[in-house]
């Protein structure tokens, strides 16, 4: 992460960050917000964050699972994984709504705008965003961007 806004955050929480080589060419707001959230919603362990990108064809990801409701014929699948606190499946849709947050008793500051903005950006690029997670086991946010691969 070259953005100086995140350097102090990463150093303060001793976050370790990895990314596939192709990711550097397309790190936009979505990636940065998901990375910031991975650090913000960290567990007791130092944050481990990995960003990957893979070309996608015929709505199937390289790992063999179907990209649900994406409608994408060709494009890219981006994933941001972390070892944070995780999210209960009951909140998977809610977290992408504007001003919608999971109640953690005020422990984590924020407005509930970040993921809603990510969703809007992804949808404007013809893609879809979703999360896979379990409480206490981290999260993986996936999003697709349509286009030539």
Q: Express each pLDDT in 52-109 by its tens digit.
A: 888 876 555 444 444 555 555 677 888 999 999 999 999 999 999 998 877 767 677 7
Give me the pLDDT at residue 112, please.
Answer: 84
Give me the pLDDT at residue 62, please.
Answer: 46
* Mean predicted lDDT score pLDDT of the chain: 76
Contacts by 25-30, CB closer than 8 A, 24 or more apart? 26/53, 26/76, 26/78, 26/145, 27/1, 27/51, 28/121, 29/117, 29/118, 29/121, 30/78, 30/118, 30/121, 30/122, 30/129, 30/143
Q: Are 80 and 35 in contact (CB under 8 A)?
A: yes
**pTM for this model (two decimals):** 0.76
């Amino acid at each position: 992460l070259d953005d100086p806004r995140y350097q102090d955050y990463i150093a303060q929480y001793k976050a370790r960050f990895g990314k596939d080589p192709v990711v550097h060419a397309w790190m936009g707001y979505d990636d940065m917000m998901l990375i910031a959230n991975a650090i913000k919603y960290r567990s007791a362990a130092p944050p481990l964050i990995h960003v990957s990108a893979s070309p996608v064809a015929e709505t199937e990801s390289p790992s063999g699972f179907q990209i649900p409701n994406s409608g994408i014929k060709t494009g890219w699948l981006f994933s941001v994984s972390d070892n944070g606190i995780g999210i209960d499946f009951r909140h998977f849709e809610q977290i992408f709504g504007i001003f919608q947050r999971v109640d953690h008793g005020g422990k984590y500051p924020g407005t509930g705008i970040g993921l809603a903005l990510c969703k809007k950006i992804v949808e404007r690029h013809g893609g879809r965003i979703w999360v896979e997670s379990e409480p206490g086991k981290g999260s993986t946010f996936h999003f697709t961007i349509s286009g030539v691969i």
